[in-house]
Amino acid sequence: MWFWLSLIALLFWSGSDLFSKIGSKPDDKYSHWKMSMAVGLIMGIHAAYEIFIGGVEISFDAILVYLPASFMYILSMVIGYIALRFTELSISSPICNSSGAIAAILCFVFLHEAQTVVQVIGILLVAAGVIGLGFAEMKESDEARFERQKNARVQYRKSWIALVLPILYCLIDALGTFFDSVILREEDTETFLDTVFPRTLDEGVANVAYELTWLAIGIVAAVYVLIIKKEKLRLRREGPKVIGGICETAGQFAYIYALGDTLHSGFAAAIISAYCAVSVLWSRIFLREKLSWKHYAAILVAICGIVLLGIYDG
């Protein structure tokens, strides 16, 4: 069952990337707020299912305990939605999903988690891939960029913000993973962070706490967009955002149970960590994005590192 759940998580999260990108219009400065509305709505619906049908017991205290991780995850995702307005999905997704390398370093420094040779190689590959991707992006001439983008749905100009935002996502998401590791640590684990995070949570409770926090953000986004800014929503334009929210929530649900099989968690993590590679594939097929061989070489290096870190994570 773990294998199919891993594939489901991979497909849904790559689908979330695709539909979030389709819904992030370069000319809509509120697209990230609208995307937050959609994700918050779907997350809230699933949280209600888990509470009233699944029997998950949630409390305001649990939401507060998990808030540091929830806040970092949500902030990184919102930044990621902004980034999708300025660059190709093929470029942003591999950079964003390199956060596992930063999280591994944080866990080593602050939680004293042992590093294996595989983990070190994975971190180095991710770093090399992201740096290489940055060089390929910024060194590309305007003529070459225009030539490879001429058949794409949207053309993008060279800009530092197109790289800075995915890197910010990467760093903040890594902090979320680090806080996750602290909050969901084993009860017999002792670190200096015990005075800051004195309690542990069950994974199911933590996930519902995360979804309810997303619901709160979605409500704030709705008030801002619909009431304060008086934006009108059109189904054709905003529909992909809802599909993206559904994919994000379904992927998260499958991810939790795929890694719940402790005998195969390493294999599951490796499969799921490769979803950014599928995102790049979808962008080539459906968005007609085309990169140079330097871009693809750097992406391949980064993805290899991400998969190695996924194996280590298990």
pLDDT tens column, 85-95: 999 999 999 99
Q: How confident is the model at residue 199 (pLDDT cuts 50, 70, 90)?
A: low
- Calculate the alpha carbon distances from 194 to 16, 71, 104, 109 in Å: 35, 20, 19, 15
- The pLDDT, as a whole number, for residue 72 is 96
Q: Which two tokens stand for residue 100?
A: 């596992």
Full domain range(s) for residue 101: 2-313
Count of beta carbons in the 10 Å neighbourhood of residue 138:
12
Dihedral, CA of residue 311, residue 118, residue 200 and residue 36, to nearest 10: -60
Q: Give the rounded distance of the alpha carbon of 123 from its chain centre.
A: 18
Q: How confident is the model at residue 289 (pLDDT cuts 50, 70, 90)?
A: very high
Count of beta carbons in the 10 Å neighbourhood of residue 222:
18
- The pLDDT, as a whole number, for residue 268 is 76
> CA 148 to CA 30: how far, in whole Å?
28
Q: Which of 37, 66, 306 is nearest to 170 (CA)?
A: 306
Q: How confident is the model at residue 100 (pLDDT cuts 50, 70, 90)?
A: confident
Q: What percent of the chain has pLDDT over 90?
A: 60
> CA 17 to CA 219: how far, in whole Å?
22
**Which of 222 and 254 is assigned the larger pLDDT?**
222
- The pLDDT, as a whole number, for residue 170 is 95
> CA 70 to CA 177: how far, in whole Å?
10
Q: Which two tokens stand for residue 277?
A: 């590679």
Buried b (16+ CB within 10 A) or exposed e, 236-266: eebebbbbbbbbbbbbbbbbebbbebeebbe
DSSP 77-137: HHHHHHHTTTS-HHHHHHHHTTHHHHHHHHHHHHH-PPPPHHHHHHHHHHHHHHHHHHHHH
**Which of 181 and 300 is assigned the larger pLDDT?**
300
Q: Which two tokens stand for residue 244?
A: 């993206």
Q: Which of 81, 46, 125, 9 is nearest to 73 (CA)?
A: 81
- The pLDDT, as a whole number, for residue 194 is 54
Q: Which amino acid is at 128?
A: A
The answer to whether the beta carbons of residues 145 and 158 sit under 8 Å apart is yes
Q: Which amino acid is at 62?
A: A
- The pLDDT, as a whole number, for residue 263 is 58
- The pLDDT, as a whole number, for residue 246 is 96
- The pLDDT, as a whole number, for residue 287 is 93
The answer to whether the beta carbons of residues 136 and 161 sit under 8 Å apart is no
Q: How much is the pTM?
A: 0.90
The mean predicted confidence, pLDDT, of the chain is 88
Residue 21 pLDDT > 70: yes
DSSP 140-159: S-HHHHHHHHTTSSS-----
Residue 252 φ then ψ, to 5°: -65, -40
Q: Which of 84, 91, 93 is nearest to 25 (CA)?
A: 84
Count of the separate structural domains present in the chain? 1
Q: What percent of the chain has pLDDT over 70?
A: 91
Residue 266 pLDDT > 70: no
Q: How confident is the model at residue 84 (pLDDT cuts 50, 70, 90)?
A: very high
- The pLDDT, as a whole number, for residue 157 is 79
Q: Which of 162, 155, 114, 174 is nearest to 136 (CA)?
A: 162
